[in-house]
Amino acid sequence: DAGVIQSPRHEVTEMGQEVTLRCKPISGHDYLFWYRQTMMRGLELLIYFNNNVPIDDSGMPEDRFSAKMPNASFSTLKIQPSEPRDSAVYFCASSLGGNSPLHFGNGTRLTVT
Amino acid sequence: DQQVKQNSPSLSVQEGRISILNCDYTNSMFDYFLWYKKYPAEGPTFLISISSIKDKNEDGRFTVFLNKSAKHLSLHIVPSQPGDSAVYFCAARDDKIIFGKGTRLHILP
């Protein structure tokens, strides 16, 4: 089991550019989560999916953020246009649901200059 | 408004002693609580959990205590080891999992 795989590990981009973060969940996991970690706000839930369907996107900061899950093995988080305040570490996690714990990827560190 | 609060940003403990990490929550609908551990440049990893119907869960050196009336939980690590130095996140679930800001634990030699 390779665990949750995120790419890229690091992304540096200029303000105004589009950024796409990618995630491959653990096979068989029905739930997929996108979190953002900052010093000020800690780990914030942005959006989560169940069986590829977005269930709760109330944590998505604004319309510049969008997430998709076209199939059970792939999800993207897109920021367009990016801003310096989007700089953070973005984590993807998956789980079986119920009381099973979340399994996190190693994150993507995004820097917007 | 934070529903899960970890009021101590950092904690230093001597190796071999007990580490106690605290967490408070505001939402009485939370039915499941978890602790995660995070090393630098890695994602958080699950450590231990407790259901709201219990007040204690133990796994080796790690014990989580839940006080529902006080809306408080704590993680005890005994004895503390150098490898325990990490950031610890408290998390709680209603229909989604909410994390606290984390507490950085330093185990001193």
Please, which pLDDT band fits residue A2 given cuts at 50, 70 and 90?
A: confident
CA of B8 to nearest chain A CA: how many angstroms apart?
13
Considering only CB atoms, B44 lies closest to which of A45, A56, A104, namely: A104
| Tens digit of each residue's pLDDT (9 = 90 or more) over A9-42 | 999 999 999 999 999 999 999 999 999 999 888 8
How many alpha carbons lie under 13 Å from residue A100 in its C-beta half-sphere? 14
d(CA A75, CA A94): 11
Question: Mean per-residue pLDDT for B32-45?
Answer: 96
Name the residue type at position B74: S
Contact between A43 and B45 using a beta-carbon 8 Å cutoff: no
Nearest CA-CA partner of A101 in B95, B76, B97: B97
| Tens digit of each residue's pLDDT (9 = 90 or more) over A42-88 | 899 999 999 999 999 999 988 999 999 999 999 999 999 999 999 99
Average model confidence (pLDDT) for chain A? Answer: 95
B22 close to B9: Cβ distance less than 8 angstroms: no
| Tens digit of each residue's pLDDT (9 = 90 or more) over B71-100 | 999 999 999 999 999 999 999 998 889 999
Nearest CA-CA partner of B85 in B26, B30, B10: B10
Q: Which residues of B touch A93 (CB under 8 A)?
A: 43
Nearest CA-CA partner of A61 in A32, A83, A76: A83
pLDDT over 70 (residue A1) = no
Start-to-end CA span in chain A (Å): 36
Element (H, E) at A68: strand A65-71
Q: Touching check for B49 and chain A: CB below 8 Å? A: yes
